[in-house]
Structure formats: structure tokens, C-alpha cells
Structure 1
Amino acid sequence: MQKIRRRLAMALCALAGCLVGGSALPQAAYPAKPVKLVVPYPPGGPTDIVARVIAQRLQTQTGQPFVIENLPGAGGNTGAAAVARAAPDGYTLLVATTAHAINPSLFKNLSYQFGRDFAPISQLTSGPLVVVVNPALPAKNMAELIALAKSKPGELNFASSGNGQSTHLAGELFNATAGTKIRHVPYKGSAPALTDTMGGQTQLMFDTMLSAMPHVKGGKLRALAVTSAQRSPAAPDLPTVAETVPGFEAIAWNGLLAPANTPREIIAKLSAELRTAMEQPEVRERFEAQGFAAAWNTPDAFAGFIQAEIDKWAKVVQVSGATIE
């Protein structure tokens, strides 16, 4: 009996040692079940399209479904708040946009903190907006637009897809850097904003290439410039705003984030899978067709990018005086 007790004690000690050393029963590989990608905007928009391209590719690579859930509302805050409250297990992720870097300084009462409540995984896309005007406007380029706006301070209007969106703050950044006073008119989405710009109720808009360029090709809008630092491969003949207003840059981006405290090994796994996904020619081609470029980066690099965006747009919000309760 004493020998049995000694052997049992030795076995228990060995088991305890395994548990302490982390070599107990093997953990299930991630992902072991469907992963939910929360898109905080309605179906069919640029962010939704990017998310579905990525979801399809990640499902192919991992063998697990990546399911899109659209949770629109409050300028992207409804979906972001839901992910911030989700379990940090890698099975609920947020497809974030430029607006999420703008919102911390624009909204007074957010239920989450963008810089604290999320773990960055990777940027997904980066792309310019395009400055489009009603064809009746007597401005054929950015220099002429600036001259016209300065000759009629407060008389020109620019439409946006909503308060706090990149289409809004890009216009405010333009006012600040070009010294113009073009008034902002917010809409509930890009489609009605473009409709009124084409109809002449507003004179211009800073919009995504995906939404605006079909109307440019149809002759209902005139494109003046793109807002990136370099010309866009999707419209190489269009100059940049910076060619007229040095230093101006406003890009639209998407990125993938997990709730804070998600295990680092899950973040690393997702980052690696995204890198593989965005190296695929078909993924790059689908992004480029919408005026976006694939933009993978490491979690640490993406965290730095997000903070720089938060700081940049906070200054624009302060100068514009914009605020939302």
C-alpha cells in the first residue's frame, strides 16, 4: 500500500508539473468555430464589400466560416460598442474605418474608448476620396475651386455621407488647409448626398471612388482631384489635392480589430492569415476595382497608425468646431 501511495503521489506531482508548465491537454487550434466580423454599416457599402472579400478568403484559408454581421448606427459606434463588449476570444471582430479614429474627438458621450477597448490586428485597405463637383460649377480644377470659394465665402456647400464620416472631415480639413469657408451639409449616406450634388442643391463632395466615379463616367459629376498624397492607380489622370494645397492628405481606410485582452497568439494568428489573404492577386484586384489598395501591417504598426489618425483628426475636429452629442 505504501508503494501504491508513493506511486500515486509521484503521478500527481508529475501531473501538477505539467499543468504549471503549460503542457497539459493540448488547446484547440484557432479558429475552432465560426468567426463573426461586425460591419458597423449597412450592407452594400465600401466597408461591407471589403469585409466580405476578406471573410471569403479567411474562410478558404482556415476552413472555418467568417460570417458578416451588419450593425449600423450612430456613425459606426453601434457596431463598435457591441464588439468592445464581446468576449475577448477571437470570435467577434470589428471591421473599423476612418470614422472610428474621428469619433473619439467628435462624439461627447461614447460608450467605449477606441484606443483602449480594442486590440489592433491589421489594416486592410487604404484609398483616397475624390473631390467631385456639379458640372455646372465654374471650376475645372482645385485652384479654380479655391478661388471661387474665396470669392464667395460661405456660399458654396459640400455634402457628406454624415457627421463624423471621412467625407465630412476631409472637407473640414480642406477648409482649414486651403483657407476656404465651404459649408458642410450632412446626409444619411453617400447616395442621397451624391444625388443632391448632381442636382445642384450642394456644389461638391469628398466621396469614395467606389461611390462617385460611376457618376463621373456618366457625366453627372466632374472629378477634380483625389485626396491621397500620390495619384491613384484607379484614376491616374486625376491630380492630387496636394498638388494645389501642399501637405493635404485624407485617406479612407478599413482595419480589423478584436476586443481588448484577446490572447496575443490569436491576434498573431489572425495577422498572419490576413497577410496571406492580402497577398492573393484576386483580393488585391477586387480592392483596386473599388479604388482601394491592400494595406496589411503588423498589430503594433497598426496600433501606431490608429493613434496617429486619432491625433490628426482631433485637430481637424477642433478647428472645425464640429461636435455630436
Structure 2
Amino acid sequence: MHRSRFSGRRLLAFCSCAAVLMAALPAAADEGYPTKPVRIIAPFPPGNSSDVAARFLGEQLAARLGQPFVVENKVGASGQVGAAYVAKADSDGYTLLMTSTSATISPAIYKSMPFNILEDFTPIVRVAVAPMVLLVKADAPYSSLEDFVSQLRRDPSRYTYATAGTGTIQHLAIAAFLSRIKTDVLGVPYKGSPQALTDLIGGQVQFMFDAVLSGRPHVESGRLKALAVASLGPIPQMPGVPAAAQSSLPELKDFEIEGWVGLLGPKDMPPGVTQRLNRAITDILTSPEMQDRLAKANIAVAPVNTPQQFAQFLRTDAKRWKDIVEAAHIPQE
């Protein structure tokens, strides 16, 4: 009887230890991540800000974590093809999505989506921000943003603006701008920013908002003129260009349109893997080398953020674009 009780106690103790060890296994396994190559899906073509950030980070992550981080471009439907692919992937952290502002814009534009950006993904880290700039042809007769708005209001029928497609950040930046100054202008959607910029340079359209990443080279070459950046203050990527929010136009007070790039994984990724990626990327982004490389690509490093902060940012950004779409009376597709 005594022997039986002793064995029972030993069995209970063994089971308790086993339970503790089993509970620790996922954390230990997460610390060993990655044990094989990781894919980063970029849902836009090469050269896009999300693609550039993915390739920069992939190279650095491979060096730090000891496994290849391979960037794959799966493009289409304003980033929805690549995002939907990752949403259906295994939640083990080996298929990731380097997405951008389109992820929070699309729900405001499309009635039906193949995923829910706020529910079907695990936010990891916001990587970079992409300021927007108002561009006109180099010889356009506007000396300032105020002068441009004055002429635009005087005869809006003389003007057309370009976008990189319906529902893109370029489109909504213009929509928010025109809504603020209470002016209607005809828009011309293109298949992408390069085509829109080509026609702006050629004079087929008169103005557009574009990311500094793609717009700045044309300003530096003298083919386009930057009237203002859509930010609360001047930005280092566009020296000498004033901020729209600091103009004398009260309608544009606090006017800020900024794109972003961020890394997400499928829903229910292991917290340990998420934290490991967040820590590694944060270290990379705060290094002078990475900041310099992104600056040369006209991308600004995002403020240091946790997965929880990135999740809150996504909720806030999705609401902001919904409000802009509603204020501009843009019908859902």
C-alpha cells in the first residue's frame, strides 16, 4: 500500500514535469526559427516600395537568422493576389507578406475582398513610410501651392490629374486634396505610376500626387516640379519643398497623406516567431547602414513599433481611408 502511494506520487511528479516541458517546447522551437528558407511575398512589381523594402530586409534577415529570405513577386488586383496567397498559407512563419497602404485602402474601395486585412493576418512590424508629393510639369505656370490652388479653382475644367489607378494611394491623395479645397477635376487612371508620370511630363495631364520614391528622380532631372509634400512638415527626401499643411490655405491644415510598407504573416502565427522577426527587423532598421540604404531609395524608416502597435496602426489607417473615400463620394466597386 505504501509502495503504491509512493509510485503514485512519483507518477504525479513526472506528469507535472512533463507538462512544464511540453509547454516550453513551442517557445524553444520559436527561438530556433527559421530552420529552412523563408518566402517574403511582394504583391507588387519589382521597384515598388514594398518590393524594395522586402529585398533590403531579406538580405539582412538572412545574414542575421542564418536562412535565406527569398522575395517572390505575386502581383495583381492592387496587391490582393499576393495578400490572398499569404492569408491561406501555413501559419508557421515561413510565408510572409511585405505589403503596403493598398492593404488598408482596398476595403474602402471594393465591396468584396478575398481576405480581411484586420483579421486574416498577423502584424509583425511596420517597416517604412513613403511620403507623397504634389507634382506638376516643370514649366507649369505655378509659383507655389497657393498659386496652383487659386488657378485650379478659377477654371477646374482646364485641368486633368493622373493616378496610378483607381483606388491607389495616388488616387485617394488627390481625392482628399480636392475634397479639402472643394474643387472637382477630371481624373485619368493609368495602369501604374510610370505611365502616369510619363504623361504628366508630356503635358497630357496637369498634376498628380506620387510617392517620393518614384517622383523625386523626375524632379531632380528637371522634368517635373514639386509644389508640396503631403506631410505636416518638410521632409528630408524633398529638400526645399514646403509641406501642404504649413501653407497659407486653412483647408489644408493637418493635411497628411503618407504611404507605408509593413510585414505581416498569416493569421495565428506563433507569438515567439512574430517577436523574433520583430526584434530582428527593428535591429536592422535602426542600423545606420539600413537607414542609409532606404534613404537612397527615397524611403523613410518607420518609427520603431511592436506587433501590437502595428495592429493598432492598421485599424486606424483602414478607418482613415474609409473616411476619405466617403468624403470624396467615391463609389465602391
Distance 1:10 1:69 in 2: 55
Q: CA deviation at 1:14?
A: 5.5
In structure 2, the residue matched to 1:117 is: 120
Maintained 8 Å contact 1:155/1:183? no
User: C-alpha separation between the residues in 1 aligned to 2:132 and 2:161?
Assistant: 14
The code of the aligned residue for 2:327 comes to: V
**Farther off after superposition, 116-125 or 214-223:** 214-223
Q: How does 1:39-54 map to 2 (within 5 A)?
A: 39-54=42-57
8 Å CA contact retained: 2:216, 2:238: no
Deviation at 1:82, TM superposition (A): 0.8
Between 1:192-201 and 1:290-299, the stretch displaced more is 290-299
Tell me which amino acid in the other structure corresponds to 1:44: G
Name the SS of the counterpart of 1:255 in structure 2: strand
TM-score, normalised by the number of residues in structure 2: 0.91
Tell me if 1:299 matches 2:281: no
In structure 2, C-alpha distance between the alignment counterparts of 1:92 and 1:210, rounded to whole Å: 26
Residue number in structure 2 paired with 1:163: 166
- Give the structure 2 partner of residue 247 of structure 1: 254
Picking from 72, 75, 100, the partner of 2:103 is: 100
Query: Do structure 1's residue 204 and structure 2's residue 207 form an aligned pair?
Result: yes
Given residue 63 of structure 1, which amino acid in structure 2 is its aligned partner? G
| Residue 288 of structure 1 pairs with residue 262 of structure 2 | no
SS in 2 for 1:231: coil
Aligned-pair distance for 1:55?
A: 0.8
Query: Among 60, 64, 84, which residue is 2:63 paired with?
Result: 60
Amino acid in the other structure paired with 1:306: L
Kindly provide the amino acid, as one letter, of the partner of residue 96 in structure 2: L
Equivalent residue, structure 1, for 2:263: 256
1:136: how far off? Answer: 3.9
Post-superposition Cα deviations, 1:189-244, rounded to whole Å, max 9, x if no partner, equal 11100001111111111111121121112221111111121211122211011122
Change (3 A) 1:138 1:85: same
Opposite residue 213 of structure 2, the aligned amino acid is: L
Q: Secondary structure at the match of 1:120?
A: strand
Q: Which moved more, 1:19-28 or 1:77-86?
A: 19-28
Name the aligned partner's letter for residue 281 of structure 1.
P
Q: 1:38–1:83: 8 Å Cα contact kept in structure 2?
A: yes
Name which of 131, 135, 138 aligns with 2:138. Answer: 135
CA distance in 1 between partners of 2:160 and 2:8 (Å): 81
CA pair 247-25 structure 1, distance change in 2 beyond 3 A: closer
RMSD: 2.1
Alignment counterpart, residue 174 of structure 1, candidates 172, 177, 191: 177
What percent identity do the matched residue pairs reach? Answer: 37
**Aligned 8 A contact 1:232 1:291 in 2:** no
Q: Which amino acid letter does the alignment assign opposite residue 308 of structure 1?
A: T
| Corresponding position of 1:311 | 319
The CA deviation at 1:44 is 2.0
Q: How many residues align?
A: 323
2: CA distance between counterparts of 1:113 and 1:82?
13
Contact 1:18–1:24 (Cα < 8 Å) also in 2: no
- The match for 2:78 is 75
- Report the secondary structure of 2:183's partner residue: coil
Q: Which stretch shifts more, 134-143 or 233-242?
A: 134-143
Q: 1:186 to 1:286 in 2, by over 3 A?
A: same
Unaligned runs of 5+ in 2: none
